[in-house]
């Protein structure tokens, strides 16, 4: 026998003895059991492979439409002066309220308060002493802070004040040491409301007068032509002789040839059952906040002015 065969047989016998004879013998003798030459691999549970996802249809992208082009809106002419400006309109009667200048402008920065605003009571912010001379004796009296006095006149930023409107005891105090600015501001706000109401009554009076003229003209000739008199006519200067005669005679004192600014046309009106030739005269009147325009109506009957009427109140003009 060849040596290679003998070697193969020896190896085979040794392998068989090691695998099958030695283990039982090692167990009987308490020896370490031989380890298997080949590792036994335990089966491992493998999760099933999930099926591939179903194909998804591609999403259609819808383009966002562009916003429509806005044509520029023309700005009203009334708003050209500035955004946010309040555009005034006439009220339901057709009356347009007037605009008044700021009080600071009326009083020229508090340096020229209209004289018609005095005398006026004020509260003093600091104490003052009033002095007067009687029989060459100087007599004084004091008024502490919070006391009241009367403004008699103004000299720039200084006020001339007295204890009472008729007192001869006087002193001077700064306008900022009184509450005159605050009281005049409140008075101006109130006056503007009253002034607007007055002007609206004038406006409505003019409309009513026009309606009376239209109604009277439907009747033809004056009902009482003999007593109504001839229609007043303007003279060469654009005024009326009959109205000037009323002014110069003292029948009316508030309206003068000097402060009259506009002479209206003479119209025939029937008022309270009586026919008058009427003329509306615009003139300047003095108020506590300066000179302002107003108007009155002259009612001519029998060739002379019977009375003057405020168009703002219907009262007789003094």
Q: What are 277's two structure tokens?
A: 């030739």
Q: Which of 178, 198, 216 is the last residue of a domain?
A: 178
117 Cβ contact list (under 8 Å, min separation 6): 184, 288, 289
CA-based max dimension of the chain: 184
Q: Per-residue confidence at 230, pLDDT binned at 50, 70, 90? A: confident
Burial (CB count <10 Å: 0-12, 13-18, 19+), residue 214: exposed
251 Cβ contact list (under 8 Å, min separation 6): 305, 308
On whether both 174 and 191 belong to a single domain, the answer is no
Q: Is residue 33 part of a domain?
A: no
Q: What are 62's two structure tokens?
A: 């819808």
Q: Is residue 191 part of a domain?
A: yes
E strands, the chain, are 120-123, 128-134, 137-143, 148-155, 158-162, 171-174, 260-263, 267-271, 274-287, 290-301, 304-310
Q: Which one has a higher pLDDT value, 54 or 218?
A: 218
For residues 151-174, average pLDDT = 93
b/e per residue 145-164 (b: at least 16 CB within 10 A): eeeebbbeebeeeebebbbe
For residue 62, the model assigns a pLDDT of 47
Q: Is residue 315 part of a domain?
A: no
Q: Is residue 40 part of a domain?
A: no
Q: Which one has a higher pLDDT value, 13 or 274?
A: 274
For residue 11, the model assigns a pLDDT of 64
Q: Which of 116, 145, 178 is the last residue of a domain?
A: 178
For residues 184-199, average pLDDT = 94
On whether both 144 and 205 belong to a single domain, the answer is no
On whether both 143 and 206 belong to a single domain, the answer is no
On whether both 163 and 208 belong to a single domain, the answer is no
For residues 178-188, average pLDDT = 96
On whether both 199 and 239 belong to a single domain, the answer is yes
How would you classify residue 65: left for phi > 0, otherwise alpha for psi between -120 and 50, otherwise beta?
beta
On whether both 110 and 148 belong to a single domain, the answer is yes
Q: Per-residue confidence at 139, pLDDT binned at 50, 70, 90? A: confident
Determine the Cα angle at 220 with ends 215 and 226, to 5°: 110
Q: What are 249's two structure tokens?
A: 């005679």
Q: Per-residue confidence at 72, pLDDT binned at 50, 70, 90? A: very low
On whether both 191 and 290 belong to a single domain, the answer is yes
Q: How far apart are alpha carbons 202 and 182 in whole angstroms?
A: 30
For residue 168, the model assigns a pLDDT of 87
Provide the domain count of the chain: 2
For residues 113-117, average pLDDT = 91
On whether both 203 and 164 belong to a single domain, the answer is no
Q: What are 68's two structure tokens?
A: 């429509």
Residue 262 has pLDDT above 90, yes or no: yes
For residue 40, the model assigns a pLDDT of 47
On whether both 204 and 295 belong to a single domain, the answer is yes
Lowest mean pLDDT among 57-71, 171-185, 195-209: 57-71
Q: Is residue 289 part of a domain?
A: yes
The domain in which residue 152 lies consists of 103-178
Q: Is residue 19 part of a domain?
A: no
Q: Per-residue confidence at 78, pLDDT binned at 50, 70, 90? A: very low
Average pLDDT of the chain to the nearest whole number? 80
For residues 153-157, average pLDDT = 94
Residue 190 has pLDDT above 60, yes or no: yes
For residue 227, the model assigns a pLDDT of 58
For residue 155, the model assigns a pLDDT of 94
Q: Per-residue confidence at 68, pLDDT binned at 50, 70, 90? A: very low
Residue 300 has pLDDT above 70, yes or no: yes
For residues 101-108, average pLDDT = 94
On whether both 110 and 160 belong to a single domain, the answer is yes
For residue 218, the model assigns a pLDDT of 78
Residue 115 has pLDDT above 50, yes or no: yes
For residue 251, the model assigns a pLDDT of 95
For residues 25-31, average pLDDT = 56
Q: How many CB atoms lie within 10 A of CB 266?
A: 19
Q: How many CB atoms lie within 10 A of CB 176?
A: 13
Q: Which of 178, 209, 231 is the last residue of a domain?
A: 178
Measured CA to CA in angstroms, residue 90 lies from 93, 95, 209 at distances of 7, 5, 20
On whether both 190 and 274 belong to a single domain, the answer is yes
On whether both 188 and 174 belong to a single domain, the answer is no
Residue 43 has pLDDT above 70, yes or no: no
For residue 249, the model assigns a pLDDT of 95
Residue 286 has pLDDT above 90, yes or no: no
Q: Is residue 92 part of a domain?
A: no
Q: Is residue 210 part of a domain?
A: yes
Token match 């026919």: residue? 275
Q: Per-residue confidence at 58, pLDDT binned at 50, 70, 90? A: low
For residue 137, the model assigns a pLDDT of 78
Q: What pTM was computed for the model?
A: 0.63
């Amino acid at each position: 026998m060849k040596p290679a065969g003998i070697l193969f047989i020896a190896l085979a016998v040794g392998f068989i003895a090691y695998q099958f004879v030695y283990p039982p013998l090692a167990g009987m003798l308490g020896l370490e059991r031989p380890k298997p030459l080949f590792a036994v691999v335990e089966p491992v549970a493998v999760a099933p492979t999930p099926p591939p996802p179903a194909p998804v249809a591609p999403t259609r992208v819808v383009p966002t439409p562009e916003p429509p082009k806005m044509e520029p809106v023309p700005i009203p002419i009334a708003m050209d002066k500035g955004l946010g400006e309040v555009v005034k309109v006439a009220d339901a009667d057709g009356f347009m309220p007037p605009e008044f200048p700021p009080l600071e402008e009326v009083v020229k920065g508090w340096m020229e308060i209209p004289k018609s605003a005095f005398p006026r009571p004020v509260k003093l912010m600091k104490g003052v002493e009033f002095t007067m001379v009687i029989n060459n004796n100087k007599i004084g009296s004091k008024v502490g802070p919070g006391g009241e006095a009367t403004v008699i006149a103004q000299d720039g930023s200084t006020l001339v004040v007295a204890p009472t409107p008729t007192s001869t005891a006087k002193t001077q105090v700064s306008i900022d040491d009184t509450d005159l600015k605050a009281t005049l501001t409140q008075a101006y706000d109130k006056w503007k409301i009253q002034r607007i109401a007055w002007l609206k009554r004038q406006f409505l009076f003019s409309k009513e007068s026009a309606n009376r003229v239209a109604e009277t003209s439907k009747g033809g000739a004056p009902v009482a032509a003999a007593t109504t008199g001839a229609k007043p006519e303007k003279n060469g200067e654009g005024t009326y002789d009959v109205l000037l005669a009323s002014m110069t005679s003292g029948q009316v004192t508030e309206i003068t040839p000097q402060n009259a600014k506009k002479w209206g046309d003479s119209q025939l009106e029937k008022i309270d059952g009586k026919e008058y030739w009427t003329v509306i005269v615009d003139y300047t009147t003095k108020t506590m906040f300066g000179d302002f325009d107003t108007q009155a109506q002259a009612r001519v009957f029998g060739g002379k002015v019977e009375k003057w009427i405020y168009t703002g109140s219907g009262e007789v003009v003094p």
